[in-house]
Structure 1
């Protein structure tokens, strides 16, 4: 009877696996002391960024996906617009097939680290599980480019997808950590600006409150194996730039969330950012928005990155893919993301002038 009750529980309510407990312990004692001392000055951030970028070269995406680099100078649009840079992640079996939409993935990294390459474990899994192409833009990072530069780049990437024939009703915006904040801010900006509304938004461990007031209050009662509210606050001062925290586009908890697409929020139960995710879910629900909150028992920050080794991470990705498929159901198929198509990496305006493809 007890086993039946455990099996019947939602996956996010089940007791953490042995793998999860072992990895969390290793990170708590091995990585957290360094993360807690994350530098809060530009030179230190750039040095740490170079280390992360170098380490990302060791990451390999699934052999079942193909990576196509994008450098679009947007010469056909005129004006002094920034080029669109990033990468398509495509399931090899589906890359030439019409799809009902695409996923716009905004990577995390505290707005100062990481790139589309570092997050291929998630983008590859999304492409394989949903059958949708995933576009991960390379947005500008702080401290060289403080907020709202990342948001401006995210809006440009969303417009770029629309311009290339991807229907808004088939686009799902996904982001983790700082990318989760960016994904939510982008969704709000789309609704405020009158752009066509996307099908939905998925947030993995979103960094909702850049002022870190909620996470600082939660810190004493939380055994987060990864994130420190102290280090997050230190980095946030570089992210927000000279205007501080006064930009209303930063304030997700006071945003007018009426008439937004459905949201799925996943957060680890052991995270110091858990209270922020719960507060955002409450704000969305209070505005009448459709929001599903999943608190994954005992899990750490962006545990979905470990979907090849953690059963909970694989289950979380399956839940996210289920949500994506549901919200894009009924969208008309768009053109394939292939050579010569309007959104294709092989199209002259959308691809690096080199090889155009990179096998992952």
Structure 2
């Protein structure tokens, strides 16, 4: 695990309108005048991997058929490939299957896996609820163990990764219902809301943000914070399609995403207000950290979402990682930038839980 150095900490930034700068920015200026990790030129390794993906994988994704049978085949293929990726020996992975029989069928079963650290510095004051990406049609908890393992090692918190239902068999809001069930499950087992961080990448980032909003709308206890990696904010793909011709995204195709989105929303279309993150009535929700690659077509969506949160008075820290691709954090074993991004996440997690716990204590007093 790479040590945290002064140069890895964020320096002063000029935030987008309504978007907050990192809380320790002024401190960093006194430590080092060097740039933030997300403002640095991409490493040679990062550029090489991005170019290889752009040439080898992106054409396949762009032209891949998006009917139900092909998506089911892709799902099986991706899950089989994930078996070849061995998780870190420093973590322990346990399956979770809770049919919720004690609720009399009123609550959905919770299925997924727990990822915990084998190290001695494990924390018992909270948990991370991680929602994996995959355009709502592919991937699983197993495919994202590179991220969830690093999260538990960096924070000491256990990570719950639910296996939510996916399209086209189960269009939205089925994934949201499963995410809400997982959050309620944590609360019912004594995990304080002030110690819970909701996180997700890509479509899982959309789901994490939707879950945060749903918690606010339904009056559930508010989590400590929300982390989004390259969130797929706008399922209509209007912003990403406009960006398609301006960037050399290594593998995400806005046109392919738009085809898949029609299956994700199902016959109800895009009218469900829980889908429209940019126009939701964001109230008193927990702080957000958004990390997005500078070379991906989803960057405008992340920036627009950060602005929307800022206008609503929500604390949001936006990090645009220069030259990085979609969900580059999953390469944290090989990319220095991804490793630094995970350390930034751990800093946000620690700060958010400390602030939420402090506020809770003051309210009780």
TM (normalized to structure 1)? Answer: 0.89
> Are the equivalent residues in 2 in contact too, given 1:130–1:325 (CA < 8 A)?
yes
Work out the CA distance in 2 between the residues paired with 1:48 and 1:159.
31
- 1:275 aligns with 300
Matched, 1:29 2:55: yes
The answer to whether structure 1 residue 73 and structure 2 residue 103 are counterparts is: no
- CA drift at 1:93: 2.0
Query: Structure 1: how far apart are the matches of 2:35 and 2:198?
Result: 28
Tell me the CA shift for residue 257 of structure 1.
Answer: 1.1
Hey, what does 1:353 align to over in structure 2? none
1:70-219 equivalence runs, <5 A: 70-94=96-120, 99-219=124-244
Contact 1:107 1:116 in 2 (8 A): yes
Task: Find the aligned partners of 1:211 and 1:86 in 2 and give their Cα distance.
Answer: 29
Q: 1:39: Cα distance to partner?
A: 2.0
The reply on whether 1:310 has 2:301 as its aligned counterpart is no
How far apart in 2 are the matches of 1:237 and 1:172? 30
CA distance in 1, matches of 2:306, 2:123: 34
Verify the 8 A CA contact 2:109 2:181 in the aligned structure 1. no
Which of 1 and 2 has higher RCO (CA within 8 Å, sep 6+)? Answer: 1
CA gap of 1:7–1:311, structure 2 versus 1, over 3 A, is: farther
| Helix, strand or coil at the partner of 1:249 | coil
* CA–CA separation in structure 1 for the residues paired with 2:198 and 2:337: 22
Task: Determine if contact 1:100/1:331 at 8 Å carries over to the other structure.
Answer: no
**In 2, Cα distance between equivalents of 1:225 and 1:296:** 14
Shift of 1:82: 2.7
Pairing 1:260–2:285 present: yes
Q: For the residues of structure 1 that align with 2:66 and 2:248, how far apart are their CA atoms?
A: 23
Q: Which secondary structure state, in structure 2, belongs to the residue aligned with residue 23 of structure 1?
A: helix
Provide the C-alpha distance between the structure 2 equivalents of 1:98 and 1:251, rounded to a whole number of angstroms. 35
The answer to whether the 8 Å contact 1:101/1:331 transfers is no
Indicate if the aligned counterparts of 1:72 and 1:83 stay in contact, CA closer than 8 A. yes
Alignment correspondent of 1:56: 82
Structure 1 gaps of 5+ residues are 333-360
For residues 256-292 of structure 1, give each alpha carbon's deviation from its aligned partner in whole angstroms, at most 9, with x where no partner exists. Answer: 1121100000000000000000000000000000000
Give the Cα–Cα distance (whole angstroms) in 1 for the partners of residues 59 and 221 of structure 2: 44
Aligned residues: 329
Q: Is the 8 A contact 2:123 2:156 kept in 1?
A: no
**Match of residue 71, structure 2, among 28, 41, 45:** 45
Question: CA deviation digits over 1:10-59, x for unaligned, max 9?
Answer: 00000000000000010000111111123211011111111101101111
Return the offset for 1:81: 3.4
What are the Cα deviations for residues 219-261 of structure 1, in whole angstroms up to 9, with x where unaligned? 1111101100000000000000001111100000001112110
Distance in 2 (CA, whole Å) between partners of 1:127 and 1:208 is 26
Deviation at 1:317, TM superposition (A): 0.5
Matching residue of 1:343: none
- Tell me which stretches of 4 or more aligned residues in structure 1 moved more than 3 Å: none
RMSD of Structure 2 on Structure 1 (CA): 1.7
Change in 2 beyond 3 A, CA 1:14/1:105: same
Cα deviation digits, residues 55-96 of structure 1 (max 9, x gap): 01111111000001100011112125331101110001248x
Unaligned runs of 5+ in 2: 1-6, 12-31, 358-365
Kindly tell me: are residues 115 and 292 of structure 1, through their superposed partners in 2, closer, same or farther at Cα, counting changes over 3 Å? same
SS at structure 1 position matched to 2:318: strand
Q: Which residue is 1:18 aligned to? A: 44
* TM-score, normalised with respect to structure 2: 0.88
